[in-house]
Amino acid sequence: MEKDNIKLGHRIKTAREKMGMTQAEFAAKLEVYPTHLNRWEKGKVAPGWGILAEISKICNVSLDWLIIGNDDFEKEHNTFLNLNNCNNKDIEKIIYWLQNNPQDIILFLKIIKGKKEIKAAIEALQLLGLSTDRLTNS
């Protein structure tokens, strides 16, 4: 998945450059240290779902494009991740991400489009053995 971090980092950099911002300016807008942004753009680590949602919003790019490279970069801003656009490899990336970032599960579910997709996502998380108690009891 390290290769995926590099691709994600490239898309973050592309989105930032589209806005005409330096790393320092973009980091300030995201309220993170410039060193964090630099590490994300180089693919050394990946930001959490909250930061990705904020990048999507600030740069007016779809989460589909930002997270998995689907969709058209110039497409109208979309704050939801449409799982209908995902193939099995994309779903594997998302599952891998959630396994390594369980604190982002609730945010992930908030950015998924459609009740059927949310139900399917919860079932997938349960199959992975990730706790969904807070999700199904609320």
Taking only the tens place, the pLDDT of each residue in 17-33 is 988 999 999 999 999 99
What are the strands, taking DSSP E only, across 22-138? none
Percent of the chain with pLDDT over 90: 25
Neighbours of 79 (CB within 10 A): 12
User: Quick check: pTM over 0.75?
Assistant: no
Average pLDDT, the chain: 76
Contact of 60 with 73, CB cutoff 8 Å: no
Residue 77 confidence (pLDDT): 46
Please, which residues bridge with residue 81 across strands? 112
Percent above pLDDT 70 for the chain: 60
pLDDT surpassing 60 at residue 2: yes
pLDDT of residue 138: 43
| 112: β partners | 81
The residue type of 133 is: D
Higher-pLDDT residue of 21 and 1 is: 21
For residue 60, give the DSSP letter. T
* Selected residue with higher pLDDT from 106 and 19: 19
Q: Tell me which of 123 and 8 has the higher pLDDT.
A: 8
Q: Is-contact 47 9, C-beta < 8 A?
A: no
Segment 42-75, tens digit of pLDDT: 999 989 888 888 898 888 888 778 887 765 554 4
- In sequence order, the 6+-apart residues with CB closer than 8 A to the CB of 119 are none
pLDDT at 30 (0 to 100): 94
Reduced to 3 DSSP states, what percent helix, strand and coil does the chain have, rounded to the nearest 5?
65, 0, 30
